[in-house]
Amino acid sequence: MYKIEHIGIAVKNIDEATLLYAKLFNRNAYKTEIVESEAVSTVFFQNGESKIELLAANNETSAIAKFIDKKGEGIHHIAFAVDDIYKEVERLKGEGFQAISEAPKKGADNKLVFFFHPKSTNGVLVELCQEIQ
């Protein structure tokens, strides 16, 4: 069984969105981070047992910039926490889910991450994530 680790929300302006979500949750973000490999800035809010991740493009070629150009701001992905990301990736590939990359890689918030294409998950970008030990 997967636990929802976080929901990723694509935003145009990370500073404005951070202020908006701080008001919404009545608390400040607990972490900001730039993920150079993905050309994104991220901001994390803890909300109960789950988290909200705001993602803003750092350049026009990033996946977030392309997403916003195509669909506008809004929910980008749902991330599920797993105990063994390598095992789950192989299991889901075997079940026919379409992988976006070859292997898990370092993402934000001290996690290994892996994405499955929305074409194979009813239109939802699915992320698996595992805490880096």
Residues 6+ apart with CB under 8 A from 18: 29, 32, 43, 54
Residue 82 in contact with residue 132, Cβ under 8 Å? Answer: no
| Residue count (the chain) | 133
Confidence of residue 1 (pLDDT cuts 50, 70, 90): low
Q: Which whole-number Å values give the CA distances from 111 to 13, 102, 103, 124, in the listed order?
A: 24, 17, 13, 20
Q: With 90 as the cut, is the pLDDT of residue 2 above it? A: no
Mean pLDDT of 76-99: 97
What is the per-residue pLDDT across 11-64, written as a single tens digit (0 to 9) for each? 999 999 999 999 999 999 999 999 998 999 999 999 888 899 999 999 999 999
Q: Above pLDDT 90, what percent of the chain?
A: 94
Q: Above pLDDT 70, what percent of the chain?
A: 99
**49 - beta bridge partners?**
none
CB atoms within 10 A of CB 128: 23
Q: With 70 as the cut, is the pLDDT of residue 112 above it? A: yes
